[in-house]
Amino acid sequence: MRRHTARAAMPLSVLALLAVGGCGGEQAAGGGSRPEGTTQARARAVAEAWHGSRAARAWTKGYHPLDDVVQLPDGAFHTDADKRAYATENFVLDTALPAAPARTGRVKWSHGGSLTLPLTGAREAYDSVARGGNDGPHLTVTDARLGETTLLTSRGPATVPAWLFTIEGYDTPLKRVALGPSRPPAPPIRPAAKAPSDELWPLARLVDVYRDGRSLTVLAQRGACDEGPAVGVLETDDSVVLSASITGHKGGVCTSEMLGVPKTVTLKRPLGDRILLDAFTGRPLTSPSGG
């Protein structure tokens, strides 16, 4: 369900790198290399642009998952065949899918507050995880019902409606969140350039935020002959800006594809409700599944 992206020039608008002053509470985070030179200036520019902006205010009022919106059964998966079936999204439906009992559902944050959003139907939720259809191994869904689950969002932990799909051979269901995310606001800053460079490259996606809130993993990218990616971290009071770069080059014949590499960084303090931003695009990083 998670795919790597290939290296290609991206049709993005030009932005001169801005050398702006530091934001309140700025600090270099542990576990990631500190941005330098124009890369640091870009990270600061992104943080400054979001600080107190209309986009930031809109972001804090929405529902934006930081966890994967698909949660696997306990102990998944028992066999290599089941692992292959899930990886290829190969499911068989052996039950009738129920109609949604309502048109809307509520996000309920653990610290208080809620938001009502359109409820995803069982068919749409099932189709989002069962896009396969080959003759290989498959997982059989024997029941489906609407329930709840918890996940981390940009506003902290929340309880949300979820479709619970019982899978043959597993004691607990596969859960698919039954709400789509809020529409993200237009970022208050343009991308850094028309195309990436080794000094600044967009991150592919957010992979995971650890439960302590201080460690998070992103999918960075590297070429076949690179030494690997580096991810710099710039923390402010209301944002965390990640700057991805590609380090070193090896000699010899190289292919042109980009490879995804998980990189974990550690923050000085928990992410909390601070906005997690990509320095190149100027956009927030959220759940890979998109809700």
Per-residue pLDDT, 27: 38
Phi, psi at 75, each rounded to 5°:
80, 5
For residue 209, give the nearest of 290, 143, 151 by alpha carbon.
151
Identity of the highest mean pLDDT range in 64-68, 165-169, 209-213, 244-248: 165-169
> What's the pLDDT tens digit per position in 17-52?
222 333 333 333 333 444 456 889 999 999 999 999
Q: Where in the chain is the domain with CATH 2.40.128?
A: 70-177
CATH of domain 70-177: 2.40.128
> What's the pLDDT tens digit per position in 117-170?
999 999 999 999 999 888 899 999 999 999 999 999 999 999 999 999 999 999
> What's the pLDDT tens digit per position in 200-223?
989 988 998 988 889 999 998 876
- Give the CA distances from residue 15 to residues 96, 120, 137, 191, 205, in Å, rounded to whole numbers and listed in that order: 52, 38, 48, 6, 22
Per-residue pLDDT, 17: 28
The answer to whether the beta carbons of residues 166 and 60 sit under 8 Å apart is: no
User: Using CA of residue 82, residue 86, residue 90, residue 95, what is the dihedral sign?
Assistant: positive
Dist. CA 270–CA 196, nearest whole Å: 29
Phi, psi at 179, each rounded to 5°:
-130, 140
